[in-house]
Structure 1
Amino acid sequence: MTIFDDGWLDDQQALRGADPVLRRLAEAGARLRRETEAAEQPRLKLADIPRPRAVIAVGSEARFIRAMLEPVCPVPFVAWPHHGLPGWVGALDLVVAMASDGAEPGLIMSVAEATRRGSMSLVACPESSPVADHTSSRSTTLLPTTTADTLAAAIVVLDALHLAQLGPQVRPDLVADAMDLVAEECSAYRDLSENPAKDLALGLADAHPLVWGGSVLAARASRRVAEAFRAGTGRAALAADARELMPILDGAAPRDPFADPFTDVVPADRRPGLLILDDGDTDELIRAAHTGLLTVAERNDVRVNTIGHRGGSDVERYVTLLQTGMFAAVFLAVGLGRYHDI
């Protein structure tokens, strides 16, 4: 059985195995700046396109784009998860394709289909890629990408869509600053006493994480963070709505006050730990769900951890919650010895 060792969180030798993934997390802001600079001139073409009949998004982070655009987009918006395009898409519609991380065959098919139908297209992909081979149409705008960072590419696309008056204002420079701040606060070189991600890893050391985010964006971040916990630790981790998490919290076995969480826990007896991603959304239903989760957790003596951020734009808050959770997943894996062999 793997035992969590909190001493490894400040042990540079133990952290060395996780250096590649920690470095990639820390460089998120730099990648966003690179992608923004590369797209600076091509994006200007979006200012002159006519208002489309509808917007169809395909590829990586399409649902993130939908979460940002749906509340404000002046035309219907569809995040299309299938190969090809809906049968009704034509020359009056805008197809947004995000392929910064590769050329999946279905995505190539979608971009080629958009070109064949004469649709307006906005494509984020490397300039030398199979997807780019289908972007020669005059009605297509190519935003060149270089880092394979799907989130950075999506933020650049959002910025371009704002220029086309189809989405909210996004300041990539401020989003990159928010990413840099998380990287500084959650650095492997910052010790446990002042590192929110290491503290969170310690809080979930003996738990099955249950992750909740109330707003649309916080809920998306919760799913990504839960995926990172599962991949990094091999443990069950669930992101779900409050009504789905409450029965699990209510069914938690009573805590043994004499148990040592680092030596006495066996996987079958591991209790849930609640992680709340709070982006400060003041919607009445979201706050009620938040209060309900805290009440049930307290009643069942379930530990609650919170990642909170209430300043800045929606995207700034989103990346802060997401990146902090990603750092925590890595540190939890480090504490469990999954990145090293000591």
Structure 2
Amino acid sequence: MPFFDDSLLDDPTALAAADGMLRRLAQAGARIRIEAEQAAAALSAVVELPRPRAVIAAGSEARLIRSMLEPSCPVPFLAWPRHGLPGWVGALDLVVVLATDGADANLVATAREAIRRGSQLIIACPQPSVIAERVSGRDAIMLPTKTGDTLAAAVIVLAALHRMQLGPIVDAEAVAGAFDRVAEDCSPYVDVAENPAKDLALGLAETQPLVWGGSVLASRASRRVAETLRAASGRAALAADAGELVPVLASVTRKDLFDDPFENPQPSERRPALVILDDGTGDQLTNSWQNRLREVADAADVRVCPIYCTSGGDLDRYAGLLQTGLFGAVYLAVGLGRSIWQD
């Protein structure tokens, strides 16, 4: 098993090896600004669209859009995971396609099916691209994308849906600012003592991560963070609801007080660590679940690694939680000396 070397987190040579991943994370805010500028003219066109009977979203980050819209959308919303469309979709409905690579065959088929049925259609995609060419000249609004960043494109789509009075206010500049603040706080030039992402990596150094987010958006972020932790560490990392994590934590045996870590620096089985994503929006039930998770973790002597982001709009807080977790995953890979993930 790779040994975690915490000295690498402030080592210029080790951090330079991860520069590509760290730089891409740091530039997330800039990519949102680029996409907002690209789509400025197209965003004004969506205001003229009539309110649809229902909204169907397909493609990358469709589930994030669902998480944002479901609490306030005045019409039914569906995130559709397959090519084509449900049988009931017709001319009264709005189909949103997020195709940042512009060539996914399933998304091309979905867009063409929406055109065939006479549905309203919004497509976020590069121009030129395969999907733009296939629906060229049709009754569709194109939100041109440039960076290939799926989350940046989702921010622009959410801004468009707000202008149609289908979702909450989404300020692209505010979201970009949230990403920028995390990039500053989690910069490789900020040492371990003041860097929340490096602190997270230290907490997860020799553990099996369990990730939980209480709100709808924090739960969405937890799955993205767990996915990235798996890639960074080569270990299993589970994101799940509290009801599923409680029995996992309850089954953990407390550490032996007489166990000598110098005699056995790398035990055959890794202990879990609980990562809690808290966006400050939890209701009484969510807060009680968090308290329960902490109680069970404490009883089992399981380390708790909280990530807090409680200011700004819903999407700003989501950005803060997600990005801190992603930076933490990169630093975990650095400490483990894993370079393959950075390719």
TM range, smaller chain = over 0.9
CA shift, 1:282, in A, is 3.1
CA distance in 1, matches of 2:137, 2:163: 20
In the TM superposition, structure 1's runs of 4+ consecutive aligned residues that sit over 3 Å from their partners are 256-259
CA distance in 1, matches of 2:136, 2:89: 19
Aligned to 2:37: 37
> Normalising to structure 1: TM-score of the pair?
0.96
CA distance in 1, matches of 2:123, 2:134: 10
Determine whether 1:285 maps to 2:288.
no
Q: Deviations over 1:179-222 (max 9, x none)?
A: 00000000111111110000110011111000000011000000
Letter in 1 for 2:221: A
SS of equivalent residue, structure 1 residue 269 = coil
CA distance in 1, matches of 2:238, 2:29: 28
Comparing 88-97 with 251-260, greater Cα deviation is found at 251-260
- Cα distance change of structure 1 residues 276 and 239 upon mapping to structure 2, 3 Å threshold: same
SS of equivalent residue, structure 2 residue 130 = coil
Determine whether 1:265 maps to 2:266.
yes
Letter in 2 for 1:67: S
Aligned to 2:192: 192
CA shift, 1:134, in A, is 2.8
> Normalising to structure 2: TM-score of the pair?
0.96
- Cα distance change of structure 1 residues 110 and 262 upon mapping to structure 2, 3 Å threshold: farther
Comparing 234-243 with 248-257, greater Cα deviation is found at 248-257
CA distance in 2, matches of 1:249, 1:286: 18
Determine whether 1:46 maps to 2:42.
no
CA distance in 2, matches of 1:160, 1:261: 57
- Cα distance change of structure 1 residues 44 and 240 upon mapping to structure 2, 3 Å threshold: same
Aligned to 1:249: 249
2:214, 2:282 within 8 Å by CA — same for their partners in 1?
A: no
Aligned to 2:113: 113
Structure 1: state its 5+ residue gaps.
none
1:115, 1:134 within 8 Å by CA — same for their partners in 2?
A: no
CA distance in 1, matches of 2:260, 2:164: 59
Q: Following superposition of structure 1 onto structure 2, how do residues 1-342 of structure 1 map, counting pairs within 5 Å?
A: 1-257=1-257, 258-260=259-261, 264-266=265-267, 268-339=268-339
2:102, 2:132 within 8 Å by CA — same for their partners in 1?
A: no
CA shift, 1:137, in A, is 4.5
Letter in 2 for 1:81: P
Letter in 1 for 2:266: V
Comparing 320-329 with 129-138, greater Cα deviation is found at 129-138
CA distance in 1, matches of 2:131, 2:101: 11
Structure 2: state its 5+ residue gaps.
none
CA shift, 1:39, in A, is 0.5
SS of equivalent residue, structure 2 residue 301 = coil
2:115, 2:138 within 8 Å by CA — same for their partners in 1?
A: no
Letter in 2 for 1:265: Q
TM-align CA RMSD: 1.4
Q: Deviations over 1:26-46 (max 9, x none)?
A: 000000000001001111111
2:200, 2:328 within 8 Å by CA — same for their partners in 1?
A: yes
SS of equivalent residue, structure 2 residue 31 = helix
SS of equivalent residue, structure 1 residue 224 = helix
Letter in 1 for 2:77: F
CA distance in 2, matches of 1:262, 1:31: 49
CA distance in 2, matches of 1:263, 1:59: 47
1:61, 1:154 within 8 Å by CA — same for their partners in 2?
A: yes
